[in-house]
Structure 1
Amino acid sequence: MKAAAPSPLAKAEVAQLVIDAIGRPLIMVDADGFITFANAEAEDFFRLSAAMLARSRLADFVPFGSPLLSLLEQVQERRAPVNEYRVDISSPRLGPDKVVDIYVTPVADPAGASVVMFQERSMADKIDRQMTHRGAARSVTGLAAMLAHEIKNPLSGIRGAAQLLENVVSDEDRPLARLITEETDRIVALVDRMEVFSDERPVDRAPVNIHVVLDHVKAIARNGFARDIDIVEEYDPSLPPILANRDQFIQVFLNLIKNAAEAIGNQGGGQIRLSTAFRPGIRFSVPGTSERVSLPMEFCVHDNGPGVSEDIQSIIFDPFITTKQNGSGLGLALVAKIVGAHGGVIECESSARGTTFRILMPAWRGEADGTRQRQKAGSKA
């Protein structure tokens, strides 16, 4: 027996559920520019209910002469879809820094109407940056393996020869032989640091309370490199644990807090703020699986230093990018590798008022995550 066909009302309800599940602001605009439909995401985007939006024209929300209005006119004339990327629609009603990708498609009924979908660049840029960081980490992995094999062996020969020369040359030339030895040791130390990137062995992971990690790193900082800097905590004590390697996350936050302390330097009133929060996360693929998870766990390290130059903000997690006179540029690249390997995202926001490094991570979901991690480690053994 065939199932009864759904009623028109049921079809409408299903359509509404599908549209709300898209996860992007979506509206329908009629031929006169009035908003005739808005999904739940659009209500959040415009900060108005669908009923209120239905009384408004799209032109009421965007700046005069906005490219969005030109796109709508173009679609109405040609009756063909049009996309536009990185469109600034900032306005008093939508808020500042509102940059979006826009997808406009004509619909047959009602005549002259169009469907507009927005994708905020903040989300798209996070995805782009995460893919870039992972690609940079893979590049360093290959480079580290090559350096270890091709450079360390000849360096040991050079160092041995320099030590022999130091014993036979004149007192005047002995400092030069010693310089060769010291510089060779410095290169070997740099290669050793890079070898961390080529280590792809599975690491032990367990539920980790991030506040325990932060307290441990804070104790190190207060008794060392951040002795004269005020460290402030803004923690959400109700956060669930994350599935992670504790030692690696100590290394992550040690790097970030040390960078913050160095950015502040000797300026008076220096402050580092550590914050944790539970926020709605975007969805990402976990490395090594086809699963997609949300990233609601937010951990931030903020300093009130002079900020990072805009020229390097987009590449700050790439290897060998550094503003320090004697820096190697590998610390933040290693941080990005560790966070990415744990299925998380790290991003940097900076201005003249300071710099914030934000880590987004999945929460631990109990025994299911532990079982999956053991299976993954077993398949690599």
Structure 2
Amino acid sequence: MSFQTLWNALPMPAFLITEQGQIGAVNDAGEGFVVASARTLIGRRCVEVLDVGVDLERAFARVRADNSPMLIKDVDVASRNRPPGRCNIRIAPMSLSDPRLLLLLSPREVSQQVRPAGAPKSAIGMAEMLAHEIKNPLAGITGAAQLLAMNLPKADQEMTDLIVSEARRVVALLDQVEQFGDVSPPDCRAFNIHDVLERACQSARLGFAAHMQIKVDYDPSLPDVWGDPDQLMQVVLNLLKNASQAGAEGGTIRIRSAFQHDMRLSRSDGSRQHLPILLEISDNGPGIPPDIAADIFDPFVSGRENGTGLGLALVSKIISDHQGWITVDTQPGRTAFRISLPVSPAAKGGG
């Protein structure tokens, strides 16, 4: 796979900045963000193209001086053809021998809300391919370590045991990466969402959330939702598991359903979709760390020490594939994930 293919597979606007502060390269998402072609952008000073609410040139100098990446959160970014919008900006050095910098923009409408269905598929496909390739040599490493252990005295087997356990841990992580890339399009049909919620609650109470109290508040008048019950079951289980891991012994998880008459989502094509079914799953744990809250749905972002950061990314992808919407509201003592979904065509016609 060529660099250009990988570069254009990035779902967020990306720019390579030369030592002189000029744009050396821009990907497809970057062209779309500033509404200009690469041909007209390359060679221009970055500060002339992007109107940013911080001193970009000073930020570039600091990244080069420290040789370490920088994250600038919640700043207004505009261009000649684009009105100001809130973004997170990441600036990172390429390498010690390459003076160029990588500048990534994460528009808040992308980083905090659901991405359009299919937006990250190329990048995720690449991650899935790499996971498959890495697992093959890991199997060989594990086997070799086990063979070595057979000929070592018991006192010297600690290192080989460590190799085997760490290799297995990495394989488990790669399995999750492959699962993330393997999610098929939803097989949508009309069904009662409360059936899914109850099955998920029963599974949680008997397993990973046995140490928590689970309280429900359902709206019995909800019409049928339009979606894939198996995939939405996975969503609810992931959110319940997240809540159970955040909560202490005896903590409380609350599940609520409701009908939102006025919830409409504006799509990139200008259309507005009615998403009246609301599901809310909340816990009374410590909350999501503020430094990762805005990126919590991104792959490999996790608030737990040994978390993989793929559970919520999978949740976001499934909800996006359902043309739905997911948000999170977090503070110490309460974190609430809210999902908005469409009703079935029959219910829509009846309403």
Report the TM-score, using the length of structure 1 for normalisation.
Answer: 0.58
- Report the Cα distance in structure 2 between the residues aligned to 1:346 and 1:184, rounded to whole angstroms: 34
Cα distance change on mapping 1:231 and 1:254 into 2, 3 Å: same
Per-residue displacement from partner, 1:272-311 (whole Å, max 9, x unpaired)?
211111112122449xx99752211110001122222222
Residue in structure 2 matched with residue 294 of structure 1 by the alignment: 274
- Report the Cα distance in structure 1 between the residues aligned to 2:292 and 2:227, rounded to whole angstroms: 29
Q: How does 1:98-177 map to 2 (within 5 A)?
A: 129-130=112-113, 137-138=120-121, 141-177=124-160
* Higher strand content, 1 or 2: 2
User: Secondary structure of 1:314's partner?
Assistant: helix
Residue in structure 2 matched with residue 314 of structure 1 by the alignment: 294
Indicate the percent of aligned positions where both proteins have the same amino acid. Answer: 44
Residue in structure 1 matched with residue 263 of structure 2 by the alignment: 281
Per-residue displacement from partner, 1:9-48 (whole Å, max 9, x unpaired)?
xxxxxxxxxxxxxxxxxxxxxxxxxxxxxxxxxxxxxxxx
- Report the Cα distance in structure 1 between the residues aligned to 2:114 and 2:272, rounded to whole angstroms: 15
Cα distance change on mapping 1:337 and 1:187 into 2, 3 Å: same
The answer to whether residue 222 in structure 2 is matched with residue 239 in structure 1 is yes
- Report the Cα distance in structure 2 between the residues aligned to 1:225 and 1:178, rounded to whole angstroms: 28
Over 6 Å off, 4+ runs: 133-136
Kindly state the Cα deviation for residue 152 of structure 1 after the two structures are TM-superposed.
Answer: 1.2
Residue in structure 2 matched with residue 260 of structure 1 by the alignment: 243
Cα distance change on mapping 1:329 and 1:200 into 2, 3 Å: closer
- Report the Cα distance in structure 1 between the residues aligned to 2:344 and 2:294, rounded to whole angstroms: 30
Kindly state the Cα deviation for residue 158 of structure 1 after the two structures are TM-superposed.
Answer: 1.2
Kindly state the Cα deviation for residue 167 of structure 1 after the two structures are TM-superposed.
Answer: 1.7
Report the TM-score, using the length of structure 2 for normalisation.
Answer: 0.62
Contact kept? 1:130, 1:346, Cα under 8 Å: yes
Kindly provide the amino acid, as one letter, of the partner of residue 302 in structure 1. S
- Report the Cα distance in structure 2 between the residues aligned to 1:255 and 1:334, rounded to whole angstroms: 9
Per-residue displacement from partner, 1:101-150 (whole Å, max 9, x unpaired)?
9xxxxxxxxxxxxxxxxx9xxxx966763355868854761343232332
Q: Which runs of 5+ in 1 are unaligned?
A: 1-100, 102-118, 370-381
Cα distance change on mapping 1:335 and 1:262 into 2, 3 Å: same
Residue in structure 2 matched with residue 25 of structure 1 by the alignment: none
Residue in structure 2 matched with residue 355 of structure 1 by the alignment: 335
Per-residue displacement from partner, 1:206-240 (whole Å, max 9, x unpaired)?
22211011111111222223234332211111111
The answer to whether residue 187 in structure 2 is matched with residue 204 in structure 1 is yes
Kindly provide the amino acid, as one letter, of the partner of residue 281 in structure 1. M
User: Secondary structure of 1:335's partner?
Assistant: helix
CA RMSD of aligned residues (A): 3.2
Residue in structure 1 matched with residue 285 of structure 2 by the alignment: 305
Kindly provide the amino acid, as one letter, of the partner of residue 332 in structure 1. L
Kindly provide the amino acid, as one letter, of the partner of residue 148 in structure 2. L
User: Secondary structure of 1:366's partner?
Assistant: helix
- Report the Cα distance in structure 2 between the residues aligned to 1:128 and 1:157, rounded to whole angstroms: 38
Kindly provide the amino acid, as one letter, of the partner of residue 216 in structure 1. R
Kindly provide the amino acid, as one letter, of the partner of residue 212 in structure 1. D
Residue in structure 2 matched with residue 40 of structure 1 by the alignment: none
Q: Which runs of 5+ in 2 are unaligned?
A: 1-75, 77-84, 86-106
- Report the Cα distance in structure 2 between the residues aligned to 1:260 and 1:214, rounded to whole angstroms: 15
Cα distance change on mapping 1:131 and 1:368 into 2, 3 Å: closer
Kindly state the Cα deviation for residue 335 of structure 1 after the two structures are TM-superposed.
Answer: 0.7
User: Secondary structure of 1:311's partner?
Assistant: coil
The answer to whether residue 255 in structure 2 is matched with residue 271 in structure 1 is no
